Amino acid sequence: MADKKVIDTFSDYMNDETRVSPVERERINFEISLIGKMIEAREEKGLSQRELAEISGVKQPAIARLESMKSTPQIDTLFKVLHPLGYTIEIVPLQRR
Contact criterion met (CB below 8 Å) for 38 and 88: no
Inter-residue contact 82 to 45 (CB < 8 Å): no
Which of 1, 5, 68, 93 is close enough to bind a second copy by CB under 8 A?
93
What is the C-alpha end-to-end distance of the chain, expressed in Å? Answer: 39
- Distances, alpha carbon 18 to alpha carbons 10, 23, 24, 80, in Å: 14, 12, 11, 35
15 touches, from DNA, a second copy, none (C-beta below 5 to 8 Å by class): none
Interface region with a second copy, contact rule CB under 8 A, candidates 9-17, 46-54, 68-76: 68-76
Q: Which residues bind DNA (CB under 7 A)?
A: 42, 48-51, 57-62, 64-68, 70-74, 77
- Binding-site ranges for a second copy (CB under 8 A): 22-23, 26-27, 30-31, 33-34, 37, 72-76, 78-80, 82-83, 86-95, 97
